C-alpha cells in the first residue's frame, strides 16, 4: 500500500498519495468522489494510480517512449511539506519534488516541483515548476484528471466549441463543432483555451477553470482501447470507459513552456 495524506474538513474529504503527489480521492460533504478511481488500480511505488489526478511532467504525450509517455513525476515519491487550514472550510497541502540521480538520467536539468492542493468546496491544484539549473529547459505538462461520470453516454462537455484541436488518433488538426459527446474513442488536445470548461453528467455539471495553461486534453478510451489497456496494464476493467472522462489542464505540444535559470511557471486547475 502507498503512503498517503488524508484531509477531512467541513467541506470535503480527500486523499493524496506521496507517490506522484497524486490526488486520488476528493468528495464534498454529502457527495461521492468527483474523481474516478479504478477498482483494480495498483497502489505501488513507481506506478501511477489509475484514476484521480496523475501529474504528467516534464513532458506530456512523448510518443516515442510509451513507458514514459507522460514523464516521471507521477511515479516518483514526493515529499510532504505541510498541511494547513487556510480557513474553516479549506485545507492546503504542499508537496515537493526535486531533481535526483534518477531524474537527471531522464531529464538532465536541476528543478523543483511544488504542488499546492487546496481542498474545500472546490479542488484547486497549483503545479509550480522552478528551473534550478544554469541551463534553460522546456517542459510540457498536464494535470491528467479522471472525472467520475454516471455513464459516458450521458456526458456532454461544453466550453471548447470552435477551438482548434489536435486529434491524437489521426494526428490531424481540427476545429471543434458544438459540444463534445461520446460514442467512440476521443483523444484530443485543444489549444488556445482560456475559458471555463463544463462537464455535464446526468444530474450534475462540474466546471474546470485553468490558469498558466492554454491546452485542454479530452480523453475517453471507449471500448477497444479500454479493452487493450485492461489486458496490457491490468489496472482497469474492460468496461471502465463507461465510468470516466478525462479533462486535463495542460501545456501540451505547441503550448510548451520555456524556463530560463531561476524562472518559474505555475499550471493551475480549479475544479468546482
Ligand atoms: O491523455 C490521454 C492519453 O495520452 C491517452 O492517449 C492515454 O494514453 C492516456 O493518456 C493514459 O495514458 P497512461 O500512460 O496513463 O496509461
**Residue percentage of the chain with pLDDT more than 90:** 96
Atom of ligand 1 nearest to the CA of 70: 14
Report the SS3 class of residue 207. strand
Spacing, Cα 244 to ligand 1 middle (Å): 13
Q: Which residue in this structure is represented by grid cell 541551463?
A: 135
Per-residue pLDDT, 147: 98
Is the CB of 74 within 6 Å of ligand 1? no
For 93, residues 6+ apart whose C-beta sits below 8 A from its C-beta are 5, 7, 16, 80, 82, 83, 116, 117, 119
Strand ranges for 104-175 from DSSP E:
111-119, 123-131, 137-139, 141-143, 146-148, 156-158, 164-167, 172-175
Is the CB of 217 within 6 Å of ligand 1? yes
Spacing, Cα 224 to ligand 1 middle (Å): 14
Is the CB of 61 within 6 Å of ligand 1? yes
Q: Which of 141, 170, 218, 219 for mutating ligand 1's site (highest number of atoms within 8 Å of CB)?
A: 219
Q: Which residue in this structure is represented by grid cell 505541510?
A: 82
Burial of 208 (0-12, 13-18, 19+ CB in 10 A): buried
Spacing, Cα 14 to ligand 1 middle (Å): 24
Report the SS3 class of residue 255. helix
187 grid coordinates: 483523444
Digit-coded pLDDT (tens) for 212-241? 999 999 999 999 999 999 999 999 999 999
For 146, residues 6+ apart whose C-beta sits below 8 A from its C-beta are 35, 36, 37, 50, 51, 52, 53, 244, 245, 246
Pairing of strands 205-211, 172-175: unpaired
Is the CB of 235 within 6 Å of ligand 1? no
Burial of 101 (0-12, 13-18, 19+ CB in 10 A): exposed
Digit-coded pLDDT (tens) for 126-185? 999 999 999 999 999 999 999 999 999 999 999 999 999 999 999 999 999 999 999 999
3-state helix, strand, coil in the chain (%, to 5): 10, 45, 40
Digit-coded pLDDT (tens) for 55-109? 999 999 986 666 789 999 999 999 999 999 999 999 999 999 999 999 999 999 9
Catalytic residues: 144, 248
Please state whether the predicted TM-score (pTM) of the whole model is above 0.85: yes
Is the CB of 69 within 6 Å of ligand 1? yes
Spacing, Cα 220 to ligand 1 middle (Å): 9
Q: Which of 60, 70, 218, 229 for mutating ligand 1's site (highest number of atoms within 8 Å of CB)?
A: 70
Amino acid at each position: 500500500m502507498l503512503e498517503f495524506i488524508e484531509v477531512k474538513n467541513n467541506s470535503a474529504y480527500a486523499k493524496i498519495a506521496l507517490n506522484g503527489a497524486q490526488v486520488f480521492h476528493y468528495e464534498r460533504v454529502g457527495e461521492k468522489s468527483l474523481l474516478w478511481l479504478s477498482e483494480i488500480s495498483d497502489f505501488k511505488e513507481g506506478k501511477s494510480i489509475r484514476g484521480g489526478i496523475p501529474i504528467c511532467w516534464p513532458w506530456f504525450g512523448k510518443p516515442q517512449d510509451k513507458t514514459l509517455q507522460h514523464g516521471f513525476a507521477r511515479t516518483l515519491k514526493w515529499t510532504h511539506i505541510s498541511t494547513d487550514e487556510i480557513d474553516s472550510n479549506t485545507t492546503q497541502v504542499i508537496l515537493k519534488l526535486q531533481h535526483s540521480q534518477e531524474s537527471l538520467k531522464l531529464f538532465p536539468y536541476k528543478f523543483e516541483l511544488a504542488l499546492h492542493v487546496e481542498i474545500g468546496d472546490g479542488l484547486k491544484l497549483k503545479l509550480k515548476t522552478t528551473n534550478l539549473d544554469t541551463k534553460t529547459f522546456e517542459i510540457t505538462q498536464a494535470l491528467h484528471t479522471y472525472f467520475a461520470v454516471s455513464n459516458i453516454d450521458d456526458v456532454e462537455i461544453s466550453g471548447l466549441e470552435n477551438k482548434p484541436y489536435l486529434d491524437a488518433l489521426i494526428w490531424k488538426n481540427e476545429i471543434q463543432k458544438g459540444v463534445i459527446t461520446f460514442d467512440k474513442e476521443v483523444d484530443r488536445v485543444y489549444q488556445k483555451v482560456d475559458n471555463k470548461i463544463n462537464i455535464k453528467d446526468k444530474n450534475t455539471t462540474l466546471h474546470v477553470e485553468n490558469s498558466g495553461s492554454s491546452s485542454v486534453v479530452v480523453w475517453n478510451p471507449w471500448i477497444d482501447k479500454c479493452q487493450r489497456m485492461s489486458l496490457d496494464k491490468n489496472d482497469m476493467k474492460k468496461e471502465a470507459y463507461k465510468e470516466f472522462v478525462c479533462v486535463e489542464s495542460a501545456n501540451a505540444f505547441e503550448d510548451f513552456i520555456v524556463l530560463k535559470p531561476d524562472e518559474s511557471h505555475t499550471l493551475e486547475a480549479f475544479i468546482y
